Amino acid sequence: MAVRDMQPWQDFLLRARWFQGKGLPIDGIEWHALPWQARDGDVWVRSELAEVRSGAGQPPDVYHLLVGYLPCGHGEPDALIGRVELPGRGWADAVDAPHSPTAMQALLRGITEPGCAGVEWLDQVPDPCAETRVFAGEQSNTTVQVGDSVLFKIFRKLSPGPSLESESLAALAHCDITPGLIGTWATTDGAYQLGLFSQRISDAEDGWGWCVGACRDGRDISAEMSGLGATLRRLHTEFAAVFGTSTIDAATIGQQMLGRLDAAVAQVPELAECQTPLRAVLGLPSSQVEVQRVHGDFHLGQALISPRGWTIIDFEGEPLKTPAERAAHDTVWRDVAGLLRSLDYARSHHRDPAGEDAVGWYRAARAAFLDGYLASVVEPPSILTAYEVDKAIYELVYETRNRPTWSWIPRQAIIEAIG
């Protein structure tokens, strides 16, 4: 590693919102610097990978730090990590590049140069001189808006090969369900995809914030939820056509859920008190069900509402799952359950979450979404309940480790499901 003191970067990594090893023992971190993407005068930018080992015999988790080195005293306060000594350059301000407009301008100039190794453009190359702005609130990656029409998503926890995000956007390029894919950015050897560029949907509002506001205001959103259900159904139909389908025994799915329950109990001991009734819900009886490519982490924050309707985004899957688990085919009910759980989270932001108004709003929104998804043909199957409980257990583990003050939301859902 070509920086003599990595302590500032280690401290930054361990407290970053997108670092998924919080609460786990760290056995060691190895740092690997990739080739410079930009050496624009006295502004240098590159990717630096951290291999984090947190268990004997387990493969390391690989995290992507996009690093900028600026002249001392020039690091923007919101981006500054610390002052480090860089061999061949001397002392410099080290910055988290996405939060440094100076570093981002240099990076964009570098990777938009014709023939830049690791970069593939599928649409019009973004303006490297455009203003940049970081999206707030992301949990797993970092997205930078470039100008008015482009989003630059920087992947943080890396998996070998192409990302599910770019693969999904490319497969759905012929329809209007998702943003258009503009370009991809990978390591020069193709081992990891580092980020992608996609279309920004103009006049769009985040589905999460929109629904939270509607619940607080007591605004009926049945028509919009029905539309979102229909959009998700279209997404599943397109995925099935591109990636194919197969069948699996529901009992196998149940066994997988029971395995996740056992793992969750080890991390959140309070679940042991209700393990028996939970196993009764998750232990699905044998029957053949269809599986296919799904979104994998569908919730209100993964949907944008705009004058053109609903747009579905972020296809990387649940961040705590392994790459193989996120890529595996599943039943469509995982995505349906994810959205229903998200509506419950939105209800929980009401001033009186257990009151008649909030509960009534949630039930109406839930019914409308299911009606739109099912097209008024059939009732949701009993397997949906198991998926909702499985999702709530996942949420409880995540919230306990990352946002303890939110853990009551999935905890209450679990209690209600087995009560």
Distance CA 166, CA 213 (A): 31
Whether 150 and 93 map to the same domain: the answer is no
Largest CA distance in the chain: 68
Residue 164 lies in a domain: yes
> Are 158 and 173 in contact, with CB atoms under 8 Å apart?
no
Beta carbons within 8 Å of 260's beta carbon, 6+ residues apart? 390, 393, 394
Q: Mean pLDDT, to the nearest integer, of 178-202?
A: 96
Choose one of 147, 180, 200: the last residue of a domain: 200
Whether 214 and 292 map to the same domain: the answer is yes
- What is the extent of the structural domain holding 213? 205-418
The total number of residues written for the chain in this structure: 419
Whether 128 and 102 map to the same domain: the answer is no
Distance CA 91, CA 344 (A): 50
Distance CA 398, CA 32 (A): 28
> Are 246 and 290 in contact, with CB atoms under 8 Å apart?
yes
Q: Mean pLDDT, to the nearest integer, of 163-180?
A: 93
**Average model confidence (pLDDT) for the chain?**
92
Name the pLDDT band for 2 (thresholds 50, 70, 90): low
Residue 113 lies in a domain: no
Structure tokens at 301: 């924050």
Residue 387 has pLDDT above 70, yes or no: yes
DSSP run (H or E) holding 48: strand 43-53
Whether 67 and 135 map to the same domain: the answer is no
pLDDT at 25: 83
Tens digit of pLDDT for each residue in 291-350?
Answer: 999 999 999 999 999 999 999 999 988 776 777 888 889 999 999 999 999 999 999 899
Total domain count, the chain: 3
**How far is CA 81 from each of CA 65, 99, 158, 276, rounded to the nearest angstrom?**
12, 11, 22, 47
Choose one of 142, 172, 200: the last residue of a domain: 200
For residue 321, how far is the Cα from the chain centroid?
A: 11
Whether 332 and 184 map to the same domain: the answer is no
Whether 368 and 303 map to the same domain: the answer is yes
Choose one of 107, 139, 170: the last residue of a domain: 107
Lookup result for tokens 């998200």: 342
> Are 86 and 61 in contact, with CB atoms under 8 Å apart?
no
Residue 1 has pLDDT above 60, yes or no: no
Residue 377 has pLDDT above 80, yes or no: no
Distance CA 240, CA 119 (A): 29
Q: What is the CATH number of the domain that holds 374?
A: 3.90.1200.10
Q: Mean pLDDT, to the nearest integer, of 365-377?
A: 89
Q: Mean pLDDT, to the nearest integer, of 41-62?
A: 90
Q: For residue 300, what is the DSSP state?
A: G
> Are 324 and 305 in contact, with CB atoms under 8 Å apart?
no
Residue 112 lies in a domain: no
For residue 334, how far is the Cα from the chain centroid?
A: 15
β partners of residue 86: 90
Distance CA 225, CA 223 (A): 6
Structure tokens at 201: 């949907």
Residue 307 lies in a domain: yes
Q: How buried is 83 (Cβ within 10 angstroms: 0-12 exposed, 13-18 middle, 19+ buried)?
A: middle
> Are 83 and 95 in contact, with CB atoms under 8 Å apart?
no
Backbone angles phi, psi at 250, to 5 degrees: -60, -30
Whether 182 and 257 map to the same domain: the answer is no
Whether 279 and 350 map to the same domain: the answer is yes
Q: What is the pTM of this model?
A: 0.85
Residue 57 has pLDDT above 80, yes or no: no
> Are 134 and 146 in contact, with CB atoms under 8 Å apart?
no
Distance CA 302, CA 280 (A): 31
Beta carbons within 8 Å of 412's beta carbon, 6+ residues apart? none
